[in-house]
Amino acid sequence: MNSNLSKRIGTSIILLIILSVSLLANKYLWLIVLMIASIISFHEFSNLIKKGFKNKKKLIQFLYIVNFLFLTLLVFVGYNIYTFPPTGIIFIILICIFSDTGGYVIGRLIGGKKLTKISPNKTISGSFGSFIFSLLPLIIYFTIYEVAGNVNFYSKNIIDLICVSLFLSFVCQIGDLFISYFKRKAKVKNTGTILPGHGGLLDRIDGLIFVLPIASIVDKIFF
């Protein structure tokens, strides 16, 4: 577990740096990163579709179209999210990273009853771990700002942010299970081999690609 966990954390740090640098640089670099991620994700997901539904040509064609439209929407939404404060976007990314890491760590340490047949390695304890770990970026964020004297941890917004963090963790887990279903159909462990410790890019950002559109909607409705 230590070796895999180290690789996961290392990969997470590298991706966080890439996303943060592109985000803070300018919107065009951010757009380029989004497009590259979408192209790689389209390729990986297309391979899962081909392997998982070999004899269903019409279904494969339909899923290709859905795949293309969704990832195109992701680029559009991701580009529009650039209007968010940089700390807000990084906060969303950190929720996904911590949620994924928490599910892995707690699931491995405690184990227990399986969460679903879709992904046999995922447990109920791991799901709770994801929810708990998703609150860590919030604690870090408020601790830093409270020490700096810019915000009160117990401000009226804290309950809203806790609810948002837990909800986005839930969406992140749904995204993870969605990709896991197609990996199971394709009878493969990973979506690709581009990232050490994770396999494919989708293995790392499966939750994030679901969270970004939902976060955009949540922001427009509640904030």
Report whether 184 contacts 118 (CB < 8 A).
yes
CB-side exposure of 7: number of CA atoms within 13 Å? 11
CA distance 79 to 105: 32
DSSP 113: S
| Six token digits for residue 163 | 């609810």
Q: Is 114 helix (H, G, I), strand (E, B) or coil?
A: strand
CA distance 31 to 155: 34
Report whether 206 contacts 71 (CB < 8 A).
no
Q: Which domain holds residue 192?
A: 2-222
CB atoms within 10 A of CB 103: 29
Report whether 175 contacts 211 (CB < 8 A).
yes
CA distance 103 to 127: 6
Each residue's pLDDT tens digit in the chain (223 positions)?
566 777 777 888 888 888 888 888 888 888 888 889 889 999 999 999 989 888 888 888 888 888 888 888 888 887 777 777 777 788 888 999 999 999 989 988 998 889 888 888 889 999 999 999 999 988 887 777 665 555 544 454 778 888 889 999 999 999 999 999 999 989 998 898 887 656 888 888 889 889 988 888 877 766 5
Total tally of structural domains belonging to the chain = 1
In this prediction, residue 84 carries a pLDDT of 78
